[in-house]
Structure formats: C-alpha cells, structure tokens
Amino acid sequence: MPTIKEILNTMEYGPAPESTKEAQAWLEQRGRQFGLFINNEWSEAGELFASINPADGAKLADLTQGSAADVDRAVAAARAAQPGWQALGGHGRAKVMYSIARLMQKHARLFAVLETLDNGKTIRETRDVDLPLVARHFYYHAGWAQLQAEEFSDYRAVGVIGQIVPWNFPLLMLAWKIAPALAAGNTVVFKPAEFTSLTAMLFADICVQAGVPAGVVNIITGDGRVGEAIVKHEGIDKLAFTGSTEVGRLIREASAGSGKKLSLELGGKSPFIVFEDADLDAAVEGLVDSIWFNQGQVCCAGSRLLVQESVQEKFLAKLRARMDKLTLGSPLDKSMDIGALVDPVQKQRIEGLVQSARDEGCTVYQPACELPANGSWFPPTLITGASTAAAVAQAEIFGPVLVAMSFRTPPEAVQLANNTVYGLAACVWTENISLALDVAPAIKAGVVWINTANQFDAACGFGGYRESGYGREGGREGMYEYLTAKAEDARPAAPVTEPKAKAKAAPVAAGGAFAIDRTAKLYIGGKQARPDGAYSRAIHGADGSFIAEVGEGNRKDIRNAVEAAHKATGWTKATAHNRAQVLYYIAENLAARGEEFAARIAAMTGSKNAEKEVQASIERLFYYAAWADKYDGLAHQPPMHGITVALNEPLGVIGIVCPNEAPLLGFISLVAPAIALGNRVVVVPSEAHPLSATDLYQVFDTSDLPAGVVNIITGSADELARTLATHSDIDAVWRHDGSAEGCAEVERLSAGSLKRTWVGGAKGRDWYSTAQAGGRAVLAHASQVKNIWIPYGV
C-alpha cells in the first residue's frame, strides 16, 4: 500500500477547466463589438481594434478607438451629472454603490472568466483574488459615501475625474479608481487599457442595472491617444493614473500648470528580503505569491530577492525545487499557477532583459516546462550572479523573472533594498518581530509586508514613494485624493499684495561701504554662508529706501543646502516630542524679539499689521508644535488575522518657495509643518521681503534646531525654484509665491524624478487663516503614508 505522502507525490494533475460558456454567450449577445459608454448609452461602434485572448491568440471582440471628440462628449456628460450625483447625498450614493457591489458578487464568475479570457491570468487568481477584492472595494467605499458628511465635512468632491488604468488588473484597477471617486461625489471618465477592456464593458452594464445615474460613469476605450485627450482636457479636475513610470512622467508634464489634482501609481522593483531566521518554507511560498502571481505583471511584484548570505544556498535550493513544481498552462484550468502574458510585446521585452543577463554572464534558472504552442508564455525564471547595476536588477521587468542577491547584515539589506529609483513595496521575512519592525520604516516604500506578500485591502492605502508615484488608493488617505478642502474655495483670487519694494535692483557685487554690516548671508547647515557667486541684491523698503542686501543664491548654494539637509537625518529620527519642543522654543525666542521682527516687517512691506503678523507666526509655530506628536497613523483591520499599521512618514528633503505677502507668517506657515513631521527643508524666502527670514538665523541658532534642518537661500525665486525642481536629491517642492508660470514650471520640471509638488498657483492664500494655511491637508503634503502589514500567528 503506498503511503498518503507517496500518493500525493506521484499524483498527476488532471485538467480542471472552467467553462467559458456564459462569457462567450455574453460576448455573442453583444455582437462581439462594443461602442463607447457615455451618459449610460452605448455609442455606435467606431474605428475598431481587436481584443485578443493572449493564451491562444483568438479574437474575442472588437472595441472602439475613442477620439478626442468622444472624450469631449464624455466629459460634458460627467460634468452635467456631477451636481446631481453630489446632491443624491451620502446615503443615496451609498445605496447605488452597495448595489454595484452586490451585482459584482452576483456576476463574479462571469467577470472572472471574462477577465481570464481577456488578460491571460489564471482563473484561480481572477476568481479568488481579483473579484473578491473588487466587491470589497465597492462595499468599503459605499461605506465612505455613507459617512462622508460626517467624516469629511470640511471637504467637497473634486468634480470630474479622468482615470487611466493598465492591463495587469483590469477590473481591480477599475474598482480602485471608480469606487472612491463615486463615493466622494465625483463623476468619472474612465479609460481601460487597450489590451483588456472587456470587463469594463461588462461593468458598464452593471452600472445601468445598479441605478448609476446617466453621466456618472463614462467609459472610453482606446489606446494612449484617448489617454492623452483625457489628460489635456480642460473640463477634467483630477487625473488618476496607474501604469508605467514613463507614461506617468508624460502625464505630469502634460498636466503641469493646469490646476488638475494628480495621483500616479507607477512601476516598482520591490525587494523581497529573507533574513536567516525566517521560516524559509513560508518565505518560498511568499515568493511564489510575490513574483509569480499574475506572471509577475504586478507593479508591486517582489522582483528582487535579497537573501541573507548564511541561508542563501539553502533558500535558493528550496526555491528552485518549488519552481520545478509550478504549473503553467491554460489560464482557465483551475490547477494552473501561471497563465499567459498579456501580449507578445511584453514577452519580447522580458526576453530581451533576460538575454541581457545571460550576456553579462549571470546564471539563469528556468524549470523544464513545456510552453503552449500559441499565445504569449514565459517560464518562471531565477537570475543569480547579477550586479546591482545590471539592467535586470534595476529595470521593472514586469514578468515572471526574479533576480536574487545576497546580503550579510540588516543595514546592508536596507541599503540594497533602497538601491532603486522606485519605492512601491517590500517584503520582510524574519521570525524576529523587533528586526522586522526596525527594518520596515527604513525601507523607502509605500507598502511593507512582514512575513506575507501581495496582500491588498480596500481599507489599507496603497501607493508609492519616489518614482513609484504619489497619492494613495484605498483607506482614508485614498479618499482625500478625490476630495478638495472647502477652504481652497475661499482663497482670494490673487495674492493680497503689500506695497511693492520700489526698484528691484540688479545684483551688485558685494563689498561696498557698509556691505559687511548690511548684507545678510545664506544659512546652510546651521551656519551663515557667503553666496557662491559673491553677489548680493539690494532690498528696499516700502518707501523705496535701501534697507539691506541679501545674498544672491545660485545652483551651487542650493546644492550645498541640499547636502546639509541630507546630513541632518537625526531630525527625522528624533522623537515627535523633541521636534515639538524645538518648535515651541523657536516660538519663544521669536516672541522675545517680537518688536524687532515687527519693525522689520513694517520697514520692508509698509504693513500696518506687522505686530499682528509676528503674533500669528508665533501662534502658527505653537500650532504645528502641537501637531508634531498628534498626526498619528492608523491601525487598520483588514480581513486577515493581523493588523496593518499606516504610518505618516516624512518625505525627506523639501524645497520651499515662500510667498511675498506676509513674509514672516508665510515662511513659518510652510516651514513649520514640514519640519514638525521630520522633514528637512531648503527654503527660498520671499524674494521681495527676505529679511524676516534672514533675521531668523539667530533665532534658530538659539532654539536647539539642529544644523541642516532648515537651510535658507535668498535670491531669485524663479531661478532657485527651477534648481529645486530639477535637483535629483529633493523629494518635494512647494511653491506659493503667486506665480502661475513659476508653479507650472515647478510641476513640469518635477516630472524628472517624480517629486511631489504643492503649488499655490496664481491664487492667494490668507496666511492668517488656519483653514487655509493649516490643518490635515497641509500635513498631508508634508508626509506620505506607509502601510505595514503584520499578520499574527505562529
């Protein structure tokens, strides 16, 4: 008699194909041809392109290539529908969204099969992962619609949202985009990826059945040209994009200066770290879910294995053995682990990258598996021996290809993990919770999974650091992406201008009479520094008289300031309590010299409110000192045995260009929230009235503010903002000096390294108003959320 183990080891898998009958019948019923879904009506099919089953190359249906005119019509429908959708109220919207969720569950099997046919991913995944998460997303966000008036009372819907998604999770990405947008009272113009639009077509039917009012959801199929038309459409208030970093950059550039809100969920090269004390068998299974889930076509795929040297050989042996057992074949077969790639073009790209590794002498391991004759397939692949700089170690391969490296110590693991331009996700495997929770905050990634991988839930925000994009999907933070603070509507149309300094003098060489006394230097690394160019500029008072000179900062000065800011890492590691203490201390020292500061403001600007401005600045310092240890994260309870901890982490180094009005209060209102949360800053104070900032040097020096936390470079706002926006070591740039062109330029230039931006545009801001210059909206600009998943159990 064979033992059970022997039976299990010798059992052959029999095919267990899922029926496509219902999905094929639905396609037939639709004539295998689709128009566009605008205003709850289907347009006649237009210029057509085929949707292909990547597993066998068979044509499934024809779709319409939308045009700019179609986007126009869709935006008009969405605009017309938005007030009514908003007016339906939270409960009204919640009911409709609940109905969508119910219908998605009811038709889950049809959706899952259609998704598998269209995308090539296995039915196991569409049935067990994609569809449950889609339904959950609508349920969860129906809840936010219900609670909106209570939980987001200071916010309103943004308006009309343009949404563009990729092909790797066609329906799930649709849900991630559409659910929060609708919950918040927005209407949408949605574009699926050209390879995979069929489930979006079916979703349109569901919207009608669920009672979504006409114009609330509009779906335009087509390629990147439709995306471009959406991006540049003036009737759209916010863009939400998921896809390649390359296209994300284009979208950032194209929408710069348009005033559109923007969230980008882009590529990744996520590390999967295995420490020597990890449960190695569990880690192997985690890796299977991490890099072979959806054929590795996952933005947060754990594509870089970092394994501790002491267990490297053992772990790789286990991994290769597991790879040998992975099943690859018809995605409709319920016993398959790996399905087809979405398109031959992806296969070519992956092949090219793997070949580059072979050419460089790497070892490429692929289990002997037979690839189906038709369609796009690629075997699970393990690459060892690659250098950290190799293309396969740096580029997003977006396929079932894992690159393995080793490390010796935890700091080395962190350093390797962060050796990428991306920052989407990371996995940490160890049985030592102290080690895991020490490493997780050190990794620059928006999601960290401890002893688990590729977990998602509607309650937990998802999104990247660095070039993996910005904005979050899911959770409370995801809702803010689709809301606008009502205080923004109250902003004055233009900055409230103080009487201008008479002549804006050309830079003069420093060194004239009295120049030594009256030239304020720059402030870099806690020290006053002469400007690199040895030039200064004259600052005149409201009455035209000369007051003083300030240094004319240049590119090199910014570089030095950024270096100093990067060195001040102790500030980020300091406790929030300590940061608050320093802010209080600055306030105290400013108060001690209040009269002097008021006199300076009055001399520069002619303001009659100078004392009031100083008092407001002191209060603002107290305000952000108070916030420093209260802008807490959250502990989410997703449907798993464990918690997800959402931490508000600082961005790093922020470049700030301050407003001209309220030169002290404007400066403090921007610098205080940034440093309260642990960022370091390089600040360009008011170009016209910079002396309130240069007078602060001594205040800082006597307030225990560590060197390098605040660096101040005076000079031309335009020139210095440009330098900040193009500097590769700055994480975010804020510009609030009322220059519309300047703000547009900052947004455009930020695309290079995908910096976060916060710009005021041409509008003014009442810096005295806490609603306009304070609150969670400002703190959100100074931070990014990291979700750390911590399952329980042994």
Indicate which residues carry an active-site annotation: 265
Exactly one of 242, 258, 376, 451 binds ligand NAI (CB under 6 A); that residue is 242
Tell me the window of 78-86, 199-207, 236-244, 587-595 that interacts with ligand NAI (CB under 6 A). Answer: 236-244
Is residue 452 part of the contact set for ligand NAI (CB under 6 A)? no
Q: How many CA atoms lie within 13 A of 126 on its CB side?
A: 31
# of chain residues touching ligand NAI (CB under 6 A): 26
Is residue 396 part of the contact set for ligand NAI (CB under 6 A)? yes
Is residue 267 part of the contact set for ligand NAI (CB under 6 A)? yes
Is residue 423 part of the contact set for ligand NAI (CB under 6 A)? no
Torsion angle of the four alpha carbons 293, 296, 300, 301, in this order, in degrees rounded to the nearest 10: 80
Q: How many CA atoms lie within 13 A of 443 on its CB side?
A: 34
Tell me the residue nearest to ligand NAI as measured from the CB: 227
Q: Residue 172 or 744: which CB sits closer to ligand NAI? A: 172
Q: Hey, which residues between 271 and 310 contact ligand NAI (CB under 6 A)?
A: 299
Q: Residue 165 or 405: which CB sits closer to ligand NAI? A: 165
Is residue 398 part of the contact set for ligand NAI (CB under 6 A)? yes
Measured between alpha carbons, how far is 65 from 173 in angstroms, rounded to an integer? Answer: 20
Sheet with 527-529: strands ordered across = 527-529, 522-524, 710-712, 680-684, 653-657, 732-735, 756-759
Is residue 266 part of the contact set for ligand NAI (CB under 6 A)? yes
Q: Residue 243 or 461: which CB sits closer to ligand NAI? A: 243
Structure tokens at 240: 């939400």
Structure tokens at 149: 């008036």
Smallest separation (angstroms) from ligand NAI to the CB of 39? 22
Smallest separation (angstroms) from ligand NAI to the CB of 128? 20
The residue count of the chain comes to: 794
Is residue 243 part of the contact set for ligand NAI (CB under 6 A)? yes
Is residue 199 part of the contact set for ligand NAI (CB under 6 A)? no
Q: Residue 252 or 680: which CB sits closer to ligand NAI? A: 252
Smallest separation (angstroms) from ligand NAI to the CB of 111? 19
Exactly one of 224, 385, 594, 633 binds ligand NAI (CB under 6 A); that residue is 224
Is residue 168 part of the contact set for ligand NAI (CB under 6 A)? yes
CB-count burial class (<10 Å; 0-12, 13-18, 19+) for 449:
buried
Exactly one of 72, 205, 223, 488 binds ligand NAI (CB under 6 A); that residue is 223
Is residue 244 part of the contact set for ligand NAI (CB under 6 A)? yes
Smallest separation (angstroms) from ligand NAI to the CB of 493? 31
Q: What is the CA radius of gyration of the chain?
A: 28
- Calculate the CA 734 to chain-centre distance: 17
**Parallel/antiparallel/unpaired status of strands 41-42 and 37-38:** antiparallel
Smallest separation (angstroms) from ligand NAI to the CB of 340? 15
Exactly one of 110, 250, 437, 576 binds ligand NAI (CB under 6 A); that residue is 250
Tell me the window of 93-101, 108-116, 222-230, 711-719 that interacts with ligand NAI (CB under 6 A). Answer: 222-230
Q: Hey, which residues between 338 and 357 contact ligand NAI (CB under 6 A)?
A: 346, 349
Is residue 247 part of the contact set for ligand NAI (CB under 6 A)? yes
Tell me the window of 78-86, 186-194, 382-390, 403-411 that interacts with ligand NAI (CB under 6 A). Answer: 186-194
Whether residue 614 contacts residue 594, with contact meaning beta carbons closer than 8 Å, is answered with yes
Tell me the window of 219-227, 282-290, 412-420, 737-745 that interacts with ligand NAI (CB under 6 A). Answer: 219-227
Is residue 185 part of the contact set for ligand NAI (CB under 6 A)? no
Measured between alpha carbons, how far is 391 from 360 in angstroms, rounded to an integer? Answer: 10
Is residue 227 part of the contact set for ligand NAI (CB under 6 A)? yes
Whether residue 401 contacts residue 383, with contact meaning beta carbons closer than 8 Å, is answered with yes
Cβ contacts of residue 310 below 8 Å, gap of 6+?
276
Q: Residue 223 or 619: which CB sits closer to ligand NAI? A: 223
Q: Residue 322 or 349: which CB sits closer to ligand NAI? A: 349
Smallest separation (angstroms) from ligand NAI to the CB of 395? 8
603 to 515, 520, 543, 589, 737: CA distances (angstroms): 19, 16, 8, 21, 20
What residues pair up with 712 in beta bridges, in sequence order? 523, 683
Whether residue 691 contacts residue 547, with contact meaning beta carbons closer than 8 Å, is answered with yes
User: Interior CA angle at 480 toward 478 and 483, to 5°?
Assistant: 130
Tell me the window of 102-110, 112-120, 227-235, 737-745 that interacts with ligand NAI (CB under 6 A). Answer: 227-235
Is residue 505 left, alpha or beta, with left meaning phi > 0 and alpha meaning psi from -120 to 50? beta
Closest CA to 88 of 134, 140, 142: 142
- Full DSSP string of 444-493: --SEEEES--S---TTS-B--SGGGEE--BSHHHHHHTTEEEHHHHTS-S
Task: Name the site residues for ligand NAI (rule: CB under 6 A).
Answer: 164-168, 191, 193-194, 223-224, 227-228, 231, 242-244, 247, 250-251, 266-267, 299, 346, 349, 396, 398
